Amino acid sequence: MELPIEYRWLKAHRFEGFLPWWFIENPGQEGLRAEYQKETGEDFYPFARRQDFDDVAGFKVVNGEIQREVVSVHLTWAGKREVEGFPVKAVYKDIFEWLSQEVLPETADWVTEEDLADLEEENA
């Protein structure tokens, strides 16, 4: 399955500096994908996780084809089909809409002088 060019472009730029979100080292992880399928009855190709919650982002998969739409979901890890309204998820038209509407606002909440000092020291 071919991934959207927007994803490949961001991956080539290492998708760094967007804590609490980070790219999954091996996108399409079967465990995350399988849990999403169990909980929703749908398919997606996970590519990012939020480090402090069970939030995962991935591309919608329809008829075995990866779409440009991004699903951001808070998995419940129930291991079975969830009740209506769960798991909580949002759908974005593409990875850039996901970045601008979800990732950047959450990253802004993580910006602190202390973390910046640590980063500057690591990169010195």
| Token output for 72 | 């951001």
pLDDT given at position 62: 96
The residue type found at 113 is E
pLDDT given at position 58: 96
Report how far residue 105's alpha carbon sits from residue 18's, in angstroms, rounded to the nearest whole number.
Answer: 10
pLDDT given at position 19: 87
User: With 0-12 CB in 10 A as exposed, 13-18 as middle and 19+ as buried, what is 29?
Assistant: middle
- pLDDT tens, residue order, the chain (124 aa): 789 999 999 888 887 778 899 888 887 778 999 999 999 999 999 999 999 888 999 999 999 999 999 999 999 999 999 998 899 999 999 999 999 999 999 999 888 898 888 888 888 8
pLDDT given at position 40: 95
| Token output for 90 | 């949002």
Contact (Cβ atoms closer than 8 angstroms) between residue 44 and residue 32: no
